[in-house]
A and B are shown apart, each in its own frame.
Chain A
């Protein structure tokens, strides 16, 4: 069975500060992990994904995430927040079969 837990449904950071959004997963098979971003009334857009290989994954818009198997985590970070980063962020896991499992999302607010 697979599942994802996102810690913190709302996160606020100041513009220019570090962004850290937390994601922990549960998977009985080697996981494939994803982060998506959603702007209001739009679909989800892929930020980055981990399948195999390097555990530090770089994505679009300056975001990156590190797969830590020992901690079952896949936290999303960005060194310096920008106003345009304000959005909803979803972590997801996929493994056996063709299903995805999404976290409940984290709403990021950037304070000017």
Chain B
């Protein structure tokens, strides 16, 4: 089946630990995105990538890092520098052009204890 796979679905970590969230897609889409979702705040863009080996910061990139070594994969690392990492994280993809919609994965819920 074509789609976007995020893993893990739920993740618990202690404060000060780095965490990597996986996002894999087989839609052959060029652009990939990471969003953070907090109650009442909608979706906020962390990073996005329009092509392999290139990515740009979004509105809330501090404390996060990404890589785009393959077209299919766009992992997000939540570092210990992120002050409030507990949130729901969503990965999305988009095909070329401005008119296409975003396709979303099922999300990963990170809880830092």
A112 within 8 A of B: no
* Contact A94 B98, CB 8 Å, known A103-B42, A104-B40, A104-B41: yes
| CB–CB A98/B98 < 8 A | yes
Within 8 Å CB of A34, what residues of B? 101-102
| CB–CB A43/B99 < 8 A | no
- How many residues of B sit at the interface, in one of the four size bands? 20 to 34
Whole-angstrom distance from the CB of A35 to the nearest CB of chain B? 10
Within 8 Å CB of B50, what residues of A? 98
Within 8 Å CB of A103, what residues of B? 42
| CB–CB A44/B42 < 8 A | no
Number of contacting residues on A, CB 8 A?
A: 26
| CB–CB A43/B48 < 8 A | no
| CB–CB B42/A104 < 8 A | yes
Closest to B9 in A: A41
30 chain-A/chain-B pairs, Cβ below 8 angstroms: A9-B40, A32-B98, A34-B101, A34-B102, A41-B88, A42-B106, A43-B4, A43-B90, A43-B104, A43-B105, A43-B106, A44-B43, A44-B90, A44-B92, A44-B104, A45-B104, A46-B102, A51-B99, A92-B102, A94-B98, A95-B98, A96-B98, A97-B98, A98-B98, A100-B45, A100-B102, A102-B43, A103-B42, A104-B41, A104-B42
Task: Write the residues of chain B forming the contact surface with A, with a CB cutoff of 8 angstroms.
Answer: 4, 6, 31, 33, 40-43, 45, 48, 50, 88, 90, 92, 94, 98-99, 101-107, 109
Q: Which 9 A-B pairs have CB atoms at the shortest separation, nearest pair first?
A: A43-B104, A104-B42, A51-B99, A102-B43, A44-B104, A102-B42, A43-B106, A46-B101, A43-B107
